Structure formats: C-alpha cells, structure tokens
Amino acid sequence: MPTRAGSASALEGDAFRAAHPPSHGHHLNRAEQIPASFSAKGQIVRTATLAITLLTVSLWVARDASPRSWLLLPAFWLFANFFEWTVHRFPMHRPLQPRIMYRNHAQVHHGAFTEEDMPIQNPRELWLIMMPWYTIVMLLIGVSPVAVLAALVGGLPLAGIFYVGALSYFLFYETLHAMYHLPSATLARVGVGVHPRGLFRRLQAHHTHHHELRRMAHVNFNVTFPLADVMLGTRERHVPHKAEASAPAAVGSRAAS
C-alpha cells in the first residue's frame, strides 16, 4: 500500500542518479569525501571507549536490579529494533530538517556504496560507514523518554537495564554494518561469511539490496535483524535483473512502498 511518505520520495533514487552520475564504479569519489585528518583506528577507539564507558555506568546503575527486571532486556532490544527502523526510514532517507542525517546517509553513504560495489577499498573509507562517536550521546538523549518511563515503573535500576540494551544494540549495529562493507577475503580470514546461505550472508544480502538506489528509500531499513522490516511490510528480497522485467512485483518479499 503506498504511503504519503513513500509517494513523496518515490523519485529519490532517480533524482540521486541524476545528481550523481557514476564515476569509476562509484556515484561519489570516496576519497574526496573523507577528511584528511580521519583515522579509522582513532574512530574505532573513540567510539568503543565512549560506548564501553557508558555501558559500564549503565551496569552500575542497574547493579541492584532483580533477575525479573533483567528479563525485560530482550524487550528493550525489540524496542531498539523498531527505533533503528524508524530513524533509518525517516531522517536518514527523507529530507527532513535538519538535513544532516539525510545528507550524510542517503546522499554520501549511499552515493559511495551502491549494491554493485559495497566493500571498502581501504580502512579510511570506514568514515563513510561508521557514525561519528558523538552519535551515541545523541541517540541516548533521543530515547531518554523511554528510560524515564522505565525509571518511573521499575526504579533507576530498570533505567540502567534499558541503557544497557540501547548501548549493546548500538555496538552490535555499528559492528555488523561495518562488517557488511568489508571485503569477502577479509571476512573469510576470521571465518565470517564462509557459508553462502549462512545467517551473516543472508543479513548482508538484506542490507545490500537496501543499497539499490531505486529501492533505498522504501525497503530493508533494518541493518541488524529485519524484524521491524518484516512486521511493517518493508522487507524485500533482491530480484535478479533478468527476472525483473517479467516479475516486477515479486514481493512477499517485495515490500509495498
């Protein structure tokens, strides 16, 4: 079923193609987008240090939580899955104000990595994939109403558990997203993605299809597990190009946009 938001962005992929014609296999020159001062190692260290520090604080706040309260952790991860879907579908793929998330994601990230050319060529290109370290703080502020509600219902320890869930989910998201964009040879060296029909390859294929410019504003918004995509009707499997002409609506798999 078409939605108003979907209709408003129906030509986003075509408009992006027109604005950024292909060049050397990419729609944007990756190197030109990366600040000279960027260090992939520094980015990873800053993000990991801040996340682990905040995770430690959250665990300390949750130290007196009952075992029953910890049973709510999967519910908080479920919330995070739908929160991920919402942020990815709207501010990242709709030109909403402020447009910084739309520009950095829909225009820069998707311009640098198309479904036909997903892997990075050197570690500096992680700048085009990983979120800035301060994004963690912004996200925690964004979900703070849920933490406040958790504190009102179950006290501060439950709020601590909520932030444990939020931070662990963020780290999982960032790690998995970066892995989707690593060369297959790099992943194979650590035993990841060696089975073509394994879980990682299925999740990677889900994300790769999201990078198809004509579909990026409409489908496959979960980078982690596509639970919200399935529940909200936006999961779509890739249809080989030869079959597209004869089966343009092969969804069940093909999500309504």
pTM of this structure: 0.84
Tokens (6 digits) for 193: 């993605």
32-35: which pairs have CB atoms within 8 A and are 24 or more residues apart? 33/108, 33/112, 33/127, 33/128, 34/124, 34/125, 34/127, 34/128, 35/127
3-state helix, strand, coil in the chain (%, to 5): 60, 0, 40
What pLDDT is stored for residue 163 in this prediction? 98
Tens of pLDDT, residues 175-192: 999 999 999 999 999 999
Q: How many CB atoms lie within 10 A of CB 93?
A: 22
Distance CA 241, CA 127 (A): 31
Percent of the chain clearing pLDDT 70 (strictly above): 83
Side-chain-facing half-sphere of 44: CA atoms under 13 Å: 9
What pLDDT is stored for residue 15 in this prediction? 45
Lowest mean pLDDT among 27-31, 90-94, 120-124, 216-220: 27-31
Mean pLDDT score, 40-45? 96
What pLDDT is stored for residue 98 in this prediction? 84
What pLDDT is stored for residue 242 in this prediction? 55
What pLDDT is stored for residue 160 in this prediction? 98
Mean pLDDT score, 76-99? 96
What pLDDT is stored for residue 239 in this prediction? 82
